[in-house]
Structure 1
Amino acid sequence: MAAAAAPLELDDIQGLVARGYSALKSACFLLLTVEDPTAARPALGRLALLATNGSAESPESALNLAFTSGGLRRLGLDTGELDGFSKEFASGMADPHRSRLLGDVGENAPSRWRWGGPDCPPADVLVLLYARDDGLLGRLEAHVRQDALGDGLTEAARLGTSSLTDREPFGFRDGISQPLVEGLSKVAVGDDAVKAGEFVLGYTNEYGLLTDRPLLPAWYDATGLLPRAPDGGGAADFGRNGSYLVFRQLRQDVAGFHRYLEEVTRRPDGAADPEAREVLAARMVGRWPSGAPLVHAPLRDDPSLGSDNDFGYFATDPHGLSCPLGAHIRRANPRDSLDPQPGSAQSVAIGRRHRILRRGRAYGDDSGDTGLHFLCLGANISRQFEFIQHTWLNNAHFNGLYDGPDPVVASCQNHDATFTVQARPVRTRYRDLPQFVSVRGGAYFFLPGLQALRYLCEGERAGGHR
């Protein structure tokens, strides 16, 4: 059903959708299990009062809440029976079909995860905590524990993070290529803007439609806490101002990454070649460590281009002679190179339907693991995150290649994985790439709007579904 563009209701949208809390350098994530729904709802209600909305960034701290499908069911909403919850969310990331789709097999299989897997305590609720510094974060976390844990909620896992910087663990500048969202950025206008409905439910998406969202029969909300859906025959709109949150803990083998680069770039006499090592790493990523894109700096790093995100591939580098066809950034966002008309506005428009808002944080835990808590937001998990993961990152045939999944982050690596550097007159192929990134946990969450959060945490309601 078509809907006219409407201003975003930022007071009802959780803050994580509107911003990545870049001024809040410290963060941690608490995964909670609902043991007693009757006791858990008031405890969650107390946390909901602290939830940060999207209207203004707090200079001190922020708190947001999200729920898995199992968590919503334990709290009284059957995500499998109610209309509008996506199938991938209802089945969960650890579902065997989803595991095959995402490449979560072998070492990455959910049976080996530290959290979110079938043998782990249920991760029903995700509490996302952010603060200006570690001291303030500790006080916020202590308050959350005192206010919530023990009242029907137990801790399934605590995931700490490293202090926020602009570098990811492999040493490359991160967070450059974020979509500009209509209604969230003053510069997001015209063809550069992605419709807000791609990320927030209840608003027009890139198809000019409203993405499916959970609508409840009116009698589920007898007290009228939820807005009524104008397109749903008076149904209570539980999904409005909500978003789906994908969370994956990705371990990065930093030592293995640099060891591989050093081995395959040695000079004929066996000596290390630091310059060749840096060049190969940049070609695998598609950017230099500073963030400068190879499309505009093909031969050497240029820190003055560290924030450069204004480029395409079709007109400037169609054959991958500057940025290899299989490089990570070329897969994660193909820009203007998508069929059926590469280089056209239609190609760019197709790409806008597969964008995600990234909200990840790096970590280094007590076991010595280093990596990324990958978080992204979208209104359609299948068309956005899963499509990128399966069709672009893990796809060995991406961009006309034969045996080359993403050389850096692909989670379905095998002994035949190859990275090809296009060149004239002869290309170079790097065979038997190791797996540098592995999955240590994950889940799909729903990040409700604040009215929906209040509804979820209120007491008994008409309809008998509690």
Structure 2
Amino acid sequence: MTVATLELDDIQGLIPRGYSTLKAAGFLVLAITDPATARPALAQLSRRVENGRSEPSGTAVNLAFTSDGLRQLGLETADLGGFSEEFVSGMTDPNRSRFLGDVGEDAPQKWRWGGPTTPPVHALALLYARDPQALDRLEAEVRQDVLARGLMEVVRLGTTELTDREPFGFRDGISQPLIEGLPKAKAVRARGTVGTVGEEVVKAGEFVLGYPNEYGLLTDRPQCGHNGSYLVFRQLHQDVEAFWNYLDEETRRPDGTADPAAREALAARMVGRWPSGAPLVHAPTQDAPGLASDNAFGYFATDPDGLSCPLGAHIRRANPRDSLDPRPGSAESIAIGRRHRILRRGRTYGPVEPVGPVGASEPGGPGGPGGSGDGSERGLHFLCLNANISRQFEFVQHTWLNNPAFNGLYDAPDPVVAPRQNHRATFTEQARPLRIRHTGLPQFVSVQGGAYFFLPGLRALRSLCTDTRTGEHR
């Protein structure tokens, strides 16, 4: 079978690399105030954009645009015709907001940025560095390049130092798709384990435009789309104290005292993994740190009824693995799942230590795993890359995470990340002889801002800022 050769020199580095060695990051959300002045400034910035050929050692810059930003750069409506409808209409389109669950307190009208009542968003500069000091220098240089030169800073979104933990205290980033044509995917092929659950190699065209996707086709793309990708950005506030306080109240002993072990076990069942990262499918009763990186598991053969990992657990929704119809447990089921994968590139923000229930006590200090209730704001700058926003990100969000009837359940959206839409939800632990139902789950994650961006290939990026007929800035 022929494997497409990725043009890494023309692909922005965020797609194949992820910058795991660059621990510091900051995101500058920009608006174009004067297109004629902004184009040469962006052209200058584009020369700093990192490609995907190798892992950068010091800093990296990537650059993306909303559909309104592309219009500001001179693309006419006809030129935008090749872009996907969801990108052109944007994340805050009223129909799209309802589809994504961005209603009520999560409605775009209440967002801090990216919404209809906030300044327009046209561009996104993604900045990465090996440490905070290098990031400060990089940000200062980028600001000097673009600010007051036809662009204004809408908001600066900072991050915490990159670790393997998300704010609720669980290990994150374990299950990522392997992109065909990159070294990790080649290693899987060399081992002969392609198709094994947890080691699926996904066609490059699911993430990069211009290459065959999982249907064996080229995803629709505009003329300037080759080697580009759609970037979904959502700022998600995580109410860490509410999460652990709910679990604390739900697992109190009959005499009213806290039960830290029961609290952690219920949290693990809602997530589908223990805080260490060990999956419940292989460690159903207690944490097993030795399995922290375990990703080689399915559900159909080992846990079809959810007795180890509940049917509504977060990881079971985000990646159903081998449990999808029409033939659960088959290679066909796994292949269907590959058509809905996303490439996550998120970074957390807020204090580093996770927070538990205020006043709770256990080794490592008050609260949940190692933290204390300090009221600080924490969350995730959720970033994901996909070639088809509708079939990938939006499908996962609407059909798997937010769906209250997922896996035959009732009134049970994702217990961790889904919006509640004006009512609390239910989480069910499948068990014998009787299931255990936890009612009244509040909302733990809320949307603070977001937008759909296009991350062009490097040749297209420079062309957007340069008149290709004259070689001059447009």
Please give the TM-score of this superposition, normalised by the length of structure 2.
0.90
| Pairwise CA distance, 1:187 | 2.5
Counterpart residue number, 1:316 = 302
Asked if structure 2 preserves the Cα contact closer than 8 Å seen for 1:247 and 1:444, the reply is: yes
Which of 204, 208, 223 aligns to 2:212? It is 204
- Rounded to whole Å, the distance in 2 between the matches of 1:8 and 1:359 is 19
- Rounded to whole Å, the distance in 2 between the matches of 1:9 and 1:460 is 21
| Structure 2 stretches lacking a partner, 5+ long | 352-374
Paired residue secondary structure (1:213)? coil
Asked if structure 1 preserves the Cα contact closer than 8 Å seen for 2:305 and 2:311, the reply is: yes
Is structure 2 residue 403 aligned with structure 1 residue 403?
Answer: no
| Pairwise CA distance, 1:83 | 3.1
> Structure 1 residues 340 and 263 mapped into 2: Cα distance closer, same or farther (>3 Å)?
same
Query: In the alignment, residue 364 of structure 1 is paired with which amino acid?
Result: G
Query: In the alignment, residue 173 of structure 1 is paired with which amino acid?
Result: R
Paired residue secondary structure (1:14)? coil
Paired residue secondary structure (2:114)? coil
Counterpart residue number, 1:97 = 95
Paired residue secondary structure (1:202)? coil
Asked if structure 1 preserves the Cα contact closer than 8 Å seen for 2:112 and 2:449, the reply is: yes
Query: In the alignment, residue 214 of structure 1 is paired with which amino acid?
Result: P
| Pairwise CA distance, 1:81 | 5.3
> Structure 1 residues 213 and 412 mapped into 2: Cα distance closer, same or farther (>3 Å)?
farther
Paired residue secondary structure (2:141)? helix
Which of 252, 255, 279 aligns to 1:266? It is 252
Counterpart residue number, 1:235 = none
Is structure 2 residue 173 aligned with structure 1 residue 187?
Answer: no
Is structure 2 residue 258 aligned with structure 1 residue 244?
Answer: no
Asked if structure 2 preserves the Cα contact closer than 8 Å seen for 1:79 and 1:90, the reply is: no
> Structure 1 residues 361 and 79 mapped into 2: Cα distance closer, same or farther (>3 Å)?
farther
Query: In the alignment, residue 187 of structure 2 is paired with which amino acid?
Result: V
Query: In the alignment, residue 179 of structure 2 is paired with which amino acid?
Result: V
Paired residue secondary structure (2:432)? coil
Is structure 2 residue 340 aligned with structure 1 residue 340?
Answer: no
- Rounded to whole Å, the distance in 2 between the matches of 1:414 and 1:312 is 34
Within 5 Å, which residues of 2 pair with 1:210-359?
210-215=218-223, 238-359=224-345
Counterpart residue number, 1:381 = 389
Which of 175, 193, 199 aligns to 1:177? It is 175
Counterpart residue number, 2:42 = 44
- Rounded to whole Å, the distance in 1 between the matches of 2:3 and 2:62 is 26
Paired residue secondary structure (2:15)? helix
Query: In the alignment, residue 445 of structure 2 is paired with which amino acid?
Result: V
Counterpart residue number, 1:446 = 454
Paired residue secondary structure (2:392)? helix
Q: Deviations over 1:155-195 (max 9, x none)?
A: 11100001111000000000000001101233243432100
Asked if structure 2 preserves the Cα contact closer than 8 Å seen for 1:413 and 1:434, the reply is: no
Counterpart residue number, 2:366 = none
Which of 61, 68, 72 aligns to 1:74? It is 72
Asked if structure 1 preserves the Cα contact closer than 8 Å seen for 2:29 and 2:154, the reply is: yes
- Rounded to whole Å, the distance in 1 between the matches of 2:326 and 2:15 is 32
Asked if structure 2 preserves the Cα contact closer than 8 Å seen for 1:421 and 1:427, the reply is: yes
Q: Deviations over 1:122-172 (max 9, x none)?
A: 110000000000000000000001111111101111000011110000000
Asked if structure 1 preserves the Cα contact closer than 8 Å seen for 2:104 and 2:421, the reply is: no
| Structure 1 stretches lacking a partner, 5+ long | 216-237
Counterpart residue number, 2:429 = 421
Counterpart residue number, 1:109 = 107
- Rounded to whole Å, the distance in 1 between the matches of 2:188 and 2:125 is 30
Paired residue secondary structure (2:81)? coil
Aligned residues: CA RMSD: 1.6
Counterpart residue number, 1:31 = 29
| Pairwise CA distance, 1:412 | 3.9
Asked if structure 2 preserves the Cα contact closer than 8 Å seen for 1:239 and 1:449, the reply is: yes
Query: In the alignment, residue 427 of structure 2 is paired with which amino acid?
Result: F
> Structure 1 residues 413 and 257 mapped into 2: Cα distance closer, same or farther (>3 Å)?
farther
Q: Deviations over 1:267-312 (max 9, x none)?
A: 0110100010000000000000000000000000000000000000
Counterpart residue number, 2:361 = none
Which of 410, 422, 434 aligns to 2:442? It is 434
Asked if structure 1 preserves the Cα contact closer than 8 Å seen for 2:81 and 2:222, the reply is: yes
Counterpart residue number, 1:361 = 347
Query: In the alignment, residue 354 of structure 1 is paired with which amino acid?
Result: H
Counterpart residue number, 1:457 = 465
Within 5 Å, which residues of 2 pair with 1:142-153?
142-153=140-151
| Pairwise CA distance, 1:416 | 4.2
Counterpart residue number, 1:233 = none
| Pairwise CA distance, 1:79 | 5.2
- Rounded to whole Å, the distance in 2 between the matches of 1:412 and 1:170 is 18
Asked if structure 1 preserves the Cα contact closer than 8 Å seen for 2:299 and 2:322, the reply is: yes
- Rounded to whole Å, the distance in 2 between the matches of 1:315 and 1:388 is 23
Paired residue secondary structure (2:82)? coil
Asked if structure 2 preserves the Cα contact closer than 8 Å seen for 1:393 and 1:406, the reply is: yes
Paired residue secondary structure (1:16)? coil
Which of 15, 18, 21 aligns to 1:20? It is 18
Query: In the alignment, residue 33 of structure 1 is paired with which amino acid?
Result: A
- Rounded to whole Å, the distance in 2 between the matches of 1:379 and 1:250 is 22
| Pairwise CA distance, 1:80 | 6.2
- Rounded to whole Å, the distance in 1 between the matches of 2:44 and 2:80 is 26
Asked if structure 2 preserves the Cα contact closer than 8 Å seen for 1:41 and 1:459, the reply is: no
**Percentage of matched positions with identical amino acids:** 72
Within 5 Å, which residues of 2 pair with 1:130-149?
130-149=128-147
Q: Deviations over 1:349-385 (max 9, x none)?
A: 00000000000000018x9421000000000000000
